[in-house]
Amino acid sequence: QVQLQESGPGLVKSSETLSLTCIVSGGSISSYYWSWIRQPAGKGLEWIGRIYSTGSTNYNPSLKSRVTMSVDTSKNQFSMKLSSVTAADTAVYYCARGRGPGTIGDYWGQGTLVTVSS
């Protein structure tokens, strides 16, 4: 059974960079698409972007200027950096696996709350 686990600081200061890692277990990271999705408290889901196991990336146009994703196949994990954060970036961040190029998440992590403080 594939499992995903997000890790990273739960508190980030405004204007700094948010960094998260998703560790994949129970399956290989190769040949799949891996996405980051976030959800502010009480609000809906927002797709941040995705990375293929070869390193190819696609980003949400509204976040593209601030997002960078990377993958480490040797460690079976992938990561995300979001720069110049503000309070609006406070949310639960999820990582997920896409079963194909047209689907985001057949497996999801449990989510991690990141709070941006001033």
Partner 1 sequence: QSALTQPASVSGSPGQSITISCTGTSSDVGTYNLVSWYQQHPGKAPKLMIYEGSKRPSGVSTRFSGSKSGNTASLTISGLQAEDEADYYCCSYADSFTFVFGGGTKLTVL
Q: Is 102 in the site for partner 1 (CB under 8 A)?
A: yes
Pick between residue 103 and residue 117 the one whose CB is nearest to partner 1. 103
Distance of CA 17 to the CA centre of its chain: 14
Q: Is 46 in the site for partner 1 (CB under 8 A)?
A: yes
> Burial letters for 13-44: b for 16+ Cβ neighbours within 10 Å, e otherwise?
eeeeebbbbbbbeeeebeebbbbbbbeeeeee
Residues between 25 and 44 that touch partner 1 (CB under 8 A) = 35, 37, 44
- Per-residue x/- mask for partner 1, residues 54 to 73, rule CB under 8 A? ----xxxxx-----------
Q: Is 100 in the site for partner 1 (CB under 8 A)?
A: yes
99/107 Cα distance (integer angstroms):
9
Contacting partner 1 (CB under 8 A), which of 5, 27, 47, 53?
A: 47
Binding region for partner 1 (CB under 8 A)? 35, 37, 44-47, 50, 58-62, 94, 99-106, 108-111
